[in-house]
Amino acid sequence: MLDEDRSATTDALFDELADGVYTLAARLLRDRHLAEDVVQETFLAAYRNLVSGDGPIAAWIYRIGYRKAIEAHRRRREEPGDPAVLARSVTRVAASAEHEVVRGELIATLDHAIDELSQPLRVVFVLRDIEGLNTGDTAAALAVSESAVKMRLLRARKELRKNLREYL
C-alpha cells in the first residue's frame, strides 16, 4: 500500500474506531489515562502493520486494542505500589461519584453493574451490546469462538439482570 493511501486509511480508521477502542480499554482497565495509552499503541501498531485487503479490519483493530489493554492490565498488576496509579484511581473514583449525582439512577446502576462483571463477560457485553459489533467480529476481536461470544453475552445479561431487577 502506498504511504499516502496508508495514511488516509489509518486516518479514516482512527476517526471511526478510536472511541470504540477507548471505550473497550477504559471498561477493561477502569483507568482513562491507561486507556488513552492503549489507543495510541493500538493505532501505531495498526499503522505499522496495515496491509491492503478486504478482511474484517474493525475486528482486527479491536483485537489489537484488546491485546494492548490486556498487556497494560498485566503491567499494572506488577506494580501495585505505584503512587501514580493510586492517584489516578482516586481521581477516577471521584469523577465516577460526581457522574452518579448528575446522571440518572438507572444509568449509574447499569454502569456500576457492568463494571462488576468479570472481565470476559464485561468485554463481550461492551463490544456486543454497547458498541454494537456483531457476533463474528466480536469473536475475531477476542480470538474466541462465536459460540463462546454467545454464551458470554447471555451470562453477562443474566448477571446484569440480577443487579437491575428493581428497574426491570
Partner 1 sequence: MSLSCDQLDSMLPDLFSGDLHAADEEAAAEHLATCNHCRVTVSDLELVGDLGRRHGKLELLPIEAKVRIRALLEES
List 28, 29, 34, 39, residue binding partner 1 (CB under 8 A): 39
Can residue 161 be called a binding residue for partner 1 (CB under 8 A)? yes
What does the DSSP assignment read for 31-42? -HHHHHHHHHHH
- C-beta separation of 85 from 113 below 8 A: no
List 5, 16, 36, 116, residue binding partner 1 (CB under 8 A): 36
Can residue 11 be called a binding residue for partner 1 (CB under 8 A)? yes
**At its nearest, how many Å lie between partner 1 and the CB of residue 13?**
10
Can residue 131 be called a binding residue for partner 1 (CB under 8 A)? yes
**At its nearest, how many Å lie between partner 1 and the CB of residue 80?**
25
Cβ atoms < 10 Å from Cβ of 134: 14
- C-beta separation of 72 from 34 below 8 A: yes
Choose among 26, 23, 22: nearest CA to 42.
Answer: 22
Can residue 111 be called a binding residue for partner 1 (CB under 8 A)? yes
**At its nearest, how many Å lie between partner 1 and the CB of residue 147?**
7
Q: Which is nearer to partner 1, 85 or 135 (CB)?
A: 135
Cβ-based neighbours of 16, under 8 Å, separated by 6 or more:
58
Q: Which three cell numbers stand for residue 14?
A: 482512527
Question: Among 24-32, 51-59, 64-72, 80-88, which window interacts with partner 1 (CB under 8 A)?
Answer: 24-32
